[in-house]
Amino acid sequence: MHININPENFTFSENIQVRWTDLDPLAHVNNSIYIQYFEIARGRYMLEAAPSWDWHKDMFLLVNVNCNYIKELKIGMPETKCWVRTKEMGNKSFIIEYMITTGKGTVHTIGTSTQVMFDTKTKTTIEIPDWLRKEINNYEKDGSVVIKS
């Protein structure tokens, strides 16, 4: 997985509150909780990057998630953020990158997820709608989303 770990590559970030229940016996965030942080930030990102999104109509399935742990994350660390951006768009799927940082940019975790557009009525995958492509491309930094066919 190649991710350029620089917050300047991201347009969106979500503040993360590390909770006592997120910790494991070693007093750092449990590995499974990072995926929850990604999920929370992804939901907020989609609402901001694609304001036309209708969660009752437009759906995607998460088909893959990767998480690389770089440095432990503990409760009380300053300015804990999950950065989110769309890295790549294909015909039916798109890849989102994540990065969790604290303070002035200390990177704790990087990851990706792959989403596939899905029609809930026909139970089949569908092409990414043009409106979604346009909104995400307009939201992200110019030229930062790789278009695959």
Q: Which pTM does this prediction carry? A: 0.93
Residues 118-136: tens digit of each pLDDT: 999 899 999 999 999 999 9
d(CA 70, CA 110): 8
Closest Cα to residue 68, out of 30, 99, 102? Answer: 99
Measured over the CA atoms of residue 54, residue 127, residue 143 and residue 68, the dihedral's sign is positive
Residues with pLDDT less than 70, the chain: 1-4
d(CA 32, CA 52): 31
Contacts with 33 (C-beta within 8 Å, 6 or more apart), sequence order: 22
All structural domains of the chain: 7-141 (3.10.129.10)
d(CA 94, CA 87): 8
Residues 103-115: tens digit of each pLDDT: 988 999 999 999 9
Q: What pLDDT score was predicted for residue 42? A: 97
